[in-house]
């Protein structure tokens, strides 16, 4: 970077300069170059840059870190040394560590360990007869002792105590959207009503490449958040003719062109760490740039549950699939994230109903 210029970068604390500068522009902190030989960053006149130019820099960082997050999720049970993750992001290991921590809020090692622990926590309850040691090793831990220490530190109890807890938060397996506190009987009645409204087919689905925008944080009942994600990815896709000529976002939604991926389980992941991605399907040749990143949804066996329901019944869909259909199906959830595919626009439906599919990855018991 030339020494005779001053740069303003929007975004997280991800610059290789020495100090954080107090000051902001449009709500984003400003980095400036050090002057002379001093290691202190000082506020200097900042060259005017277009918002598009600045945004492009930030988008590049976001895409690189998203690429690492998706890589970790796809290879969670494999060794993931820092150097390997840095190469995925095309950063040096030293700078990658700092950039990742600034943008994600955890070091790469902390992020990997948290995802492994959360996977193990889910498996402990999904497979109550499986030895804890086997689940620990299957979840990527080198030894039972390492797993035991990490699990107690993260959850405050041993893995055995976690498994033995009887009280579970209904309606929070893989999804928390719209769930409110209810008596168990009332929730069971709601699930019974859903029996007549859902049809589940186990299918083998091909891999699917998608472009996405992602949010990390609470999303339950936040319709503005969902609308914002949909608008952002829809605008991006329309500008690149992803949906085809003269196809609006609403038409694309009605044709199943919009998906939503839920990467974490509210049962085990803190709200501020929950990840959700609004996606559009793209072909393999599509160049993904700007605000979007890309990933592949796994090929394999899925329980595809088709719903056409009132909006008020929407919070019952995931609990019904996980807690009612799944135990009698002969299947168990696989390790990949589930997602939703939307098949209409409720505001344009004559009866105001929502039609969508839940695609839950499964494997035989």
Separation CA 335–CA 126 (nearest Å)? 12
Model confidence pLDDT, tens digit, residues 190-228: 445 555 678 999 999 999 999 999 999 998 878 889 889
pLDDT for residue 177: 33
| pLDDT tens, residue by residue, 56-70 | 667 888 889 999 999
CA 92 to CA 184: how far, in whole Å?
A: 52
Residue 45: pLDDT above 60?
no
The reported pLDDT for the residue numbered 254 is 61
Nearest alpha-carbon partner for 335 in 304, 293, 302: 302
Check residue 57 and give its pLDDT.
Answer: 65
Cα 300 versus chain centre, distance? 19
Model confidence at 316, in pLDDT bands (50, 70, 90)?
confident
Q: What number is the average pLDDT over the span 292-306?
A: 94
Query: Each residue of 89-142: pLDDT tens digit?
Result: 988 887 788 888 888 889 999 999 999 999 999 989 888 888 999 999 999 998
Is residue 352 left, alpha or beta, with left meaning phi > 0 and alpha meaning psi from -120 to 50?
left
3-state secondary structure of 92: coil
Q: Give percent above pLDDT 70 in the chain.
A: 73
Q: pLDDT by residue (tens digit) across 68-78?
A: 999 999 999 99
pLDDT at 275: 93
Domains belonging to the chain, first-starting first, are 24-105 (no CATH), 110-164 (1.10.10.60), 184-364 (3.20.80.10)
Whole-angstrom distance, CA of residue 107 vs CA of residue 172: 27
**Which of the four pLDDT bands, split at 50, 70 and 90, describes residue 151?**
very high
Q: What are the two backbone dihedrals, phi and then psi, of residue 128, each rounded to the nearest 5 degrees? A: -65, -20
pLDDT tens, residue by residue, 226-282: 889 988 998 899 888 888 776 666 666 666 688 999 998 887 888 899 999 999 999
pLDDT of amino acid 222: 83
If you average pLDDT over residues 17-27, what whole number do you get?
A: 33
Tokens of 347: 């505001």
Residue 48 exposed, middle or buried by CB count within 10 Å (0-12, 13-18, 19+): exposed
Q: What is the pLDDT of residue 55?
A: 57
- Greater confidence (328 vs 187) lies with 328
* pLDDT, mean of residues 25-52: 32
Residue 25: the pLDDT is 33
Q: For residue range 269-290, list pLDDT tens digits in order.
A: 888 999 999 999 999 999 999 8
Task: Return the C-alpha torsion angle 104, 109, 111, 112, nearest 10.
Answer: 140
CB-count burial class (<10 Å; 0-12, 13-18, 19+) for 342: buried
- Report pLDDT for 211: 95
Strands 331-333 vs 354-364: parallel, antiparallel or unpaired:
antiparallel
**83-87 LR contacts (CB < 8 Å, sep 24+):** none
Instruction: Please name which of 39, 5, 4 lies closest in space to residue 20, comparing C-alpha atoms.
Output: 39
93 torsion bin: left (phi>0), alpha (psi -120 to 50), beta (else): alpha
């Amino acid at each position: 970077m030339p020494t005779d210029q001053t740069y303003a970068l929007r975004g997280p604390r991800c610059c290789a300069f020495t100090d954080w500068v107090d000051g902001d522009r449009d709500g984003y902190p400003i980095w400036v170059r050090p002057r002379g030989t001093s290691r202190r960053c000082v506020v200097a006149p900042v060259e005017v840059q277009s918002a598009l130019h600045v945004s492009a820099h930030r988008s590049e960082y976001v895409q690189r870190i998203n690429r690492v997050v998706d890589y970790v999720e796809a290879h969670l049970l494999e060794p993931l040394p820092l150097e390997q993750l840095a190469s995925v992001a095309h950063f040096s290991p030293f700078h990658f560590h700092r950039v990742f921590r600034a943008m994600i809020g955890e070091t790469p090692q902390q992020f990997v360990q948290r995802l492994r622990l959360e996977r193990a926590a889910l498996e402990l309850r999904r497979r109550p007869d499986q030895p804890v040691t086997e689940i620990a090793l299957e979840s990527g831990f080198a030894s039972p002792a390492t797993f035991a220490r990490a699990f107690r530190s993260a959850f405050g109890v041993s893995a055995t105590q976690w498994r033995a807890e009887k009280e579970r938060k209904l309606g929070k397996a893989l999804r928390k959207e719209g769930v409110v506190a209810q008596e168990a009987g009332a929730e069971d009645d709601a699930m019974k009503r859903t029996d007549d409204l859902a049809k589940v087919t186990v299918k083998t689905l091909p891999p699917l490449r998608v472009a996405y925008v992602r949010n990390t944080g609470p999303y339950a009942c936040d319709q503005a958040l969902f609308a914002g994600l949909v608008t952002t990815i829809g605008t991006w896709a329309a500008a690149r003719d992803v949906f085809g000529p003269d196809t609006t976002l609403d038409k694309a939604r009605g044709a199943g062109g919009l998906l939503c991926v839920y990467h974490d389980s509210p049962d085990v992941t803190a709200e501020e760490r929950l990840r959700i991605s609004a996606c559009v399907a793209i072909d393999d040749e599509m160049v993904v740039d700007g605000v979007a990143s890309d990933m592949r949804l796994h090929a394999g066996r899925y329980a595809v549950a088709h719903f056409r329901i009132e909006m008020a019944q929407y919070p019952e869909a995931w609990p019904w699939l996980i807690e009612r259909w799944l135990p009698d199906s002969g299947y168990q959830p696989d390790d990949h994230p589930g997602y939703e595919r939307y098949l209409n626009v409720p505001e344009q439906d004559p009866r105001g109903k929502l039609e969508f599919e839940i695609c839950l990855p499964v494997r035989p018991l």
